[in-house]
Chain A
Amino acid sequence: MMRLSLPVLTPLAVLGLATMLTWVERRLLGLWQDRYGPNRVGPGGVFQAVADGVKLLFKQDWVPPFADRGVFVLAPAIGMMTVLLSFAVIPFTAMGGIAGGMNVGLLFILAMMGLGVYAVVLAGWASNSKYALLGGMRAAAQMISYEVFMGVSLLGVVMAAGSFSLRDIVAAQGRVWFVIPQCLGFCVFMLAGIAETHRLPFDLPEGENELGAGFHTEYSGLKFGMFFIAEYAGIILVSALVTTLYLGGGLGPVLPAAVWFTLKTCGMVMFFILLRAALPRPRYDQLMALGWKILLPLSLLNVMATGTIMMLRATTP
């Protein structure tokens, strides 16, 4: 029963959570900006997400005549799928998620994120409009660049844990969470994670004040909704990843693992929203310079330092 229900329930739960997150984010932004945010639909406005969803469902699902139809329809589906697939390997509890024990789990997530770039790039190209194309190009450059640092920053964790499997990585944090020994990698991973989900402050592919809405300018109705939900699911994914890799996953006293995992993930999601509330968007060249001139050397340094310490530990008993 458990084996069958998890693969069905997890995507549904993730979709539901991502939908709710749109409301949570708006309420939190309101809180931090001295206003309320949506608080009318239902108690405290919880049904705002539902109302928005219904609105999106009933909007005209329009494919522009100048668009490349097949690719245009495919792009949001790719975005949605890659994010949802990534959740398969996240170990929500000690028993692992759907495929929590996969021995290359971390690589699987990186692969899915790599494929996620296609959603944005293809959306930009298939829309056949200038702003969308510009957004798509920015997205491609940004996401490819930040994937590099993300991969390199994760190497530290992988070296310390000695495994690509997320469950092993959690298990390796029994004594001390990886945030402390891997704090450099943690910072780089956080930044790269924001850039990967193209969230504010690194949402240059959308950059609404310059590009209309960037890569999804031409999208409407449910297809836009898919991009939207995929973005929020991406936030949950990155938060869950940070929790798993650096914050000890489900490890913690007293409470069961699932509760700890949820708590930590929620904390990370809130931090993401705080970033959005507080920070302005950098210029595009600043973003790239930050990546290649600061984050890449930092993450390489992190790998080097981790390797050195491990070697010294191994040689001196």
Chain B
Amino acid sequence: MHALALLSAGIAFVGAIMVITRRVAVHAVLYLVVTLLAVAMVLALLGAAFAAMLEIIIYAGAIMVLFVFVVMMLNSGQPDAAREGEWLRPRAWAGPGVLAGLLCGELLYAATPFSGHAWPLAPLTARDVGLGLFGHYVLMVELASFLLLAGLISALHIGRNRVEDR
């Protein structure tokens, strides 16, 4: 179990590094998918199989396909690459880098006491997730659904076929 989790975490880590170093956008997105799959694996090993499956279906399956879809259409050439090189000067990434490092350290500190002890957790079933969502977190769910509804309606509005405009 432990070795598997470590392996998955390692894959996720390497995948994440690959994402930011790839030149071809589609390759980067593919590594992102690998990362997501590895994270799903970790979730499954932690006993949250339901969340793991949702991660694959929604993130790796649906959202990333949309990413690939968009990236496929953007044929970024040499000038774009040069412009991106411009953005990657130390001044631009120093601040976020320090913040990310702090976060990473915090995570490591928080994680160490647990490692090795808390296995295996009680499996988290769909029922638990559902009860949690519609019990404890119902306000969040409702807010998110409002947001999605607004998005849906605006998409409908933008995509509507206006005859008088032609």
Residues of A within 8 A of B (CB): 68, 70-71, 102-104, 107-108, 110-111, 113-115, 117-118, 121-122, 124-125, 133, 136-137, 140-141, 143-144, 147, 151, 164
> Is B126 a contact of A104 with CB atoms below 8 Å?
yes
> Is B123 a contact of A114 with CB atoms below 8 Å?
no
> Is B27 a contact of A71 with CB atoms below 8 Å?
yes
What are 10 inter-chain pairs, A to B, with CB distance below 8 A? A71-B30, A104-B50, A107-B57, A110-B53, A110-B61, A111-B61, A117-B61, A124-B72, A140-B65, A147-B61
> Is A125 a contact of B72 with CB atoms below 8 Å?
yes
Give every chain A residue within 8 A of B52 (Cβ-Cβ).
Answer: 104
- Point out the residue from A111, A122, A137 that lies within 8 Å of B53, measured CB to CB: A111
- Contact mask B53-87 → A, CB, 8 Å, 1/0? 11011001110011011001100000000000000
Complex: A140 Cα to B66 Cα, angstroms = 8
Q: Quote the shortest CB–CB distance from B57 to chain A (angstroms).
A: 5
Q: Quote the shortest CB–CB distance from B4 to chain A (angstroms).
A: 16
> Is B62 a contact of A115 with CB atoms below 8 Å?
no
Q: Quote the shortest CB–CB distance from A110 to chain B (angstroms).
A: 5
Complex: A151 Cα to B60 Cα, angstroms = 15
> Is A121 a contact of B66 with CB atoms below 8 Å?
no
Complex: A32 Cα to B154 Cα, angstroms = 48
Closest 9 CB pairs of A and B: A114-B61, A107-B53, A111-B56, A104-B49, A111-B57, A125-B72, A140-B69, A104-B53, A117-B65
Sample of 4 further A-B pairs with CB below 8 A, known A107-B50, A137-B69, A141-B69: A104-B49, A111-B53, A122-B26, A140-B69
Taking CB as reference atom, which chain A residue is nearest B69? A140
Interface size class of B (residues with CB under 8 A): 20 to 34
Complex: A70 Cα to B24 Cα, angstroms = 12
Give every chain A residue within 8 A of B30 (Cβ-Cβ).
Answer: 71, 122
Where chain A touches its partner, the secondary structure class is helix
> Is B57 a contact of A114 with CB atoms below 8 Å?
yes
> Is B68 a contact of A125 with CB atoms below 8 Å?
yes
With contacts A111-B61, A115-B61, A121-B68 known, is A103 near B125, CB below 8 A? yes
B33 at the interface (CB under 8 A from A): yes
Q: Quote the shortest CB–CB distance from A275 to chain B (angstroms).
A: 25
Residue among A71, A115, A133, A137 with most chain B CB within 10 A: A115
Residues of B within 8 A of A (CB): 24, 26-27, 30, 33, 49-50, 52-54, 56-57, 60-62, 65-66, 68-69, 72-73, 123, 125-126
Complex: A199 Cα to B66 Cα, angstroms = 22
> Is A103 a contact of B123 with CB atoms below 8 Å?
yes
Give every chain A residue within 8 A of B27 (Cβ-Cβ).
Answer: 70-71
Give every chain B residue within 8 A of A122 (Cβ-Cβ).
Answer: 26, 30, 68
> Is B125 a contact of A114 with CB atoms below 8 Å?
no
Q: Quote the shortest CB–CB distance from B122 to chain A (angstroms).
A: 13
Q: Quote the shortest CB–CB distance from A138 to chain B (angstroms).
A: 11
Q: Quote the shortest CB–CB distance from B74 to chain A (angstroms).
A: 12
With contacts A108-B53, A118-B33 known, is A144 near B65, CB below 8 A? yes
Give every chain B residue within 8 A of A113 (Cβ-Cβ).
Answer: 61
Taking CB as reference atom, which chain A residue is nearest B59? A114
Complex: A250 Cα to B50 Cα, angstroms = 26
Give every chain B residue within 8 A of A104 (Cβ-Cβ).
Answer: 49-50, 52-53, 126
- Point out the residue from A110, A114, A137, A143 that lies within 8 Å of B72, measured CB to CB: A137
Complex: A118 Cα to B67 Cα, angstroms = 11
Q: Quote the shortest CB–CB distance from A310 to chain B (angstroms).
A: 14
Give every chain A residue within 8 A of B123 (Cβ-Cβ).
Answer: 103
Give every chain A residue within 8 A of B61 (Cβ-Cβ).
Answer: 110-111, 113-115, 117, 147
> Is B62 a contact of A114 with CB atoms below 8 Å?
yes
Give every chain B residue within 8 A of A102 (Cβ-Cβ).
Answer: 49
- Point out the residue from B24, B54, B68 that lies within 8 Å of A107, measured CB to CB: B54
